[in-house]
Structure 1
Amino acid sequence: MTDAIDTAVLPRLDDSLYGIETRGVSAWFGDRKVLDRVSLSMTAGQVTALIGPSGCGKSTYLRILNRMHEMVRGASLSGEVLLAGTDVYAAGRRPADVRRRIGMVFQRPNPFPAMSIYDNVASGLKLAGIRTDREHRDHLVESSLQAAGLWQEVSNRLRSPGGSLSGGQQQRLCIARSLAVSPDVLLMDEPCSALDPTSTRRVEETIAELRGRLTIVIVTHNMQQAQRVSQSCAFFLASHDTPGRIVEAGPTDRLFGAPADQRTADYVNGRFG
């Protein structure tokens, strides 16, 4: 017997693309302020790269976008995070619903190692509370693996453990798991930092293939990667006595080719950080 399809929670069936925007976002861990009044608009269907030295608040900002910041004891924030014009922190908005629409891929691949490749992807549906029948689930697993650039490599071993895949394949499996619930936005926190150059290239190719289908925000310390994959860029900076803030944001080619701020020019040309 198959599960009933719950049409109330199935992903949207239209082709709309949504950007994400923050207005005056500040963040604290206890009494320590780590971000100061960050306002940034991330264009729908494009890749926005967040760059800057370690400790300037990029990953904290990324986690604020899908309400993971509040999971840290003592963490707090102010400001607005707008998806489709609605604040994701508005009263009555459930964090689980926000995270279904704004997915996350972490620095290190985190598939369920003993769970099969198929079940790893399908687990995204279960975690999001999406109930569907087997035929539809099969379709979502296949289409998600195809979108993540992994289908041809695993289609004949879907029942093999996810932990049997290489590091780069595991990262693309995690991308497929996020895509299975049809998010509007995909957040990526240094997704290639633990990967070899070949695996990095495949993940970057996957990002390029996903561009135009959803909005992607990526944190990276690799300046060449930021130039290769993103259309817009935001440079974060902090010091020992001031919280992180955006120095400059705009089209990637301008930030790297003709930055308006000397600190941006120094950073992207490797003179600090």
Structure 2
Amino acid sequence: MTLTMPPALADLEARSISAWFGERKVLDRVSLVMPAGTVTALIGPSGCGKSTFLRILNRMHELIPGASLAGEVLLSGQDVYDPARKLTDARKRIGMVFQKPNPFPAMSIYDNVVAGLKLTGVRARRAEKDALVEECLTKAGLWPEVRDRLKQPGGALSGGQQQRLCIARSLAVRPDVLLMDEPCSALDPTSTRRIEQTIAELAHEVTIVIVTHNMQQAARVSQQCAFFLAEQGTPGVIVEAGPTKRIFESPSDTRTSDYVHGRFG
């Protein structure tokens, strides 16, 4: 693998995704196109299946005991659930940043960034790793703050810095897609603003899907929104999806309007 070449932009498409935890159905025939080089925000009340949908996109749902699913997830037209495809390939091409920052706390900042190379079997010379660390930390908006302390533990950073370190770590394996599950929910406003700036800067080179409960954030960072809803014990569905501006200013469903304007949820 060449470390210096960015991936071609890739689109992601979910087709008729249904999901279960044991006998309980939590998603019902959810379909969504997430265009290449675009930030798609998944919005909706807690418990409507947004995070489950996100985990399905890079095959993390199947790790949960008793979990099952139906439907297809296509990355540039190829089914990531194809039995002929390795699980590690899906994880490499579709990265994930979690709600709570999870750097390897005892590992240095430098080693945190390059950790994914070993996990995905990529070999690189020291000079290549050095260049990769600087590039990914720069893209994550962290390089100026840590350039002189790369050997210090990642766990010593602030919460916002740890989250940006996790973004840098995800970028190091050259993913086509970056999934973000409420990446700012545990952060202060200053750190949140920096993460949002990072998302805006990354969007031209990686397809981003973000779950957020912050409607202002969804409006700021995304070009497309999908509104999820689970009503009265029924499984989660997408009520509507489309350009962010339309979803916020002239949605076609009154439930969408009520939610984005804070009238429920």
The normalised TM-score by structure 2 is: 0.98
Counterpart residue identity of residue 159, structure 2: G
1:174 aligns with 2:166: yes
Quote the offset at 1:131 in angstroms.
1.2
The superposition leaves residues 67-87 of structure 1 with CA deviations (integer Å, 9 ceiling, x where unpaired) of: 000000010000000001000
Quote the offset at 1:127 in angstroms.
1.5
Residue correspondence of structure 1 range 1-273 to structure 2 within 5 A: 7=1, 10=2, 13=5, 16-273=8-265
SS of equivalent to 2:84: coil
The superposition leaves residues 174-210 of structure 1 with CA deviations (integer Å, 9 ceiling, x where unpaired) of: 0000000000000000000000000000000100110
The superposition leaves residues 113-134 of structure 1 with CA deviations (integer Å, 9 ceiling, x where unpaired) of: 1110000001011122211111
Pick which of 91-100 and 52-61 moved more: 91-100
SS of equivalent to 2:262: coil
Counterpart residue identity of residue 242, structure 1: T
Quote the offset at 1:14 in angstroms.
5.8
The normalised TM-score by structure 1 is: 0.95
Pick which of 84-93 and 10-19 moved more: 10-19
Give the Cα–Cα distance (whole angstroms) in 1 for the partners of residues 240 and 15 of structure 2.
15
Q: Which residue of 2 aligns with 1:4?
A: none
SS of equivalent to 2:235: strand
Counterpart residue identity of residue 141, structure 1: V
Contact 2:181 2:212 in 1 (8 A): yes
Give the Cα–Cα distance (whole angstroms) in 2 for the partners of residues 24 and 12 of structure 1.
36
Q: Tell me, which stretches of 5 or more residues in structure 2 are unaligned? A: none
Counterpart residue identity of residue 71, structure 2: G
Quote the offset at 1:239 in angstroms.
2.0
Quote the offset at 1:15 in angstroms.
5.0
Alpha-carbon spacing, 1:15–1:67, altered in 2? closer, same or farther (3 Å) = closer
Counterpart residue identity of residue 173, structure 1: L
Give the Cα–Cα distance (whole angstroms) in 1 for the partners of residues 142 and 58 of structure 2.
25
Task: Provide the aligned C-alpha RMSD in A.
Answer: 1.1
Moved over 6 A (4+): none
The superposition leaves residues 18-49 of structure 1 with CA deviations (integer Å, 9 ceiling, x where unpaired) of: 01000101000011000000000001001000
Quote the offset at 1:264 in angstroms.
0.1
SS of equivalent to 1:235: strand
Counterpart residue identity of residue 142, structure 1: E
Give the Cα–Cα distance (whole angstroms) in 1 for the partners of residues 18 and 175 of structure 2.
25
Give the Cα–Cα distance (whole angstroms) in 2 for the partners of residues 159 and 12 of structure 1.
23
Pick which of 237-246 and 20-29 moved more: 237-246
SS of equivalent to 1:91: coil
Contact 2:103 2:154 in 1 (8 A): yes
SS of equivalent to 1:208: helix
Give the Cα–Cα distance (whole angstroms) in 2 for the partners of residues 33 and 135 of structure 1.
49
Give the Cα–Cα distance (whole angstroms) in 2 for the partners of residues 165 and 187 of structure 1.
22
Counterpart residue identity of residue 69, structure 1: H
Aligned-residue identity in percent = 72
Give the Cα–Cα distance (whole angstroms) in 2 for the partners of residues 14 and 70 of structure 1.
29
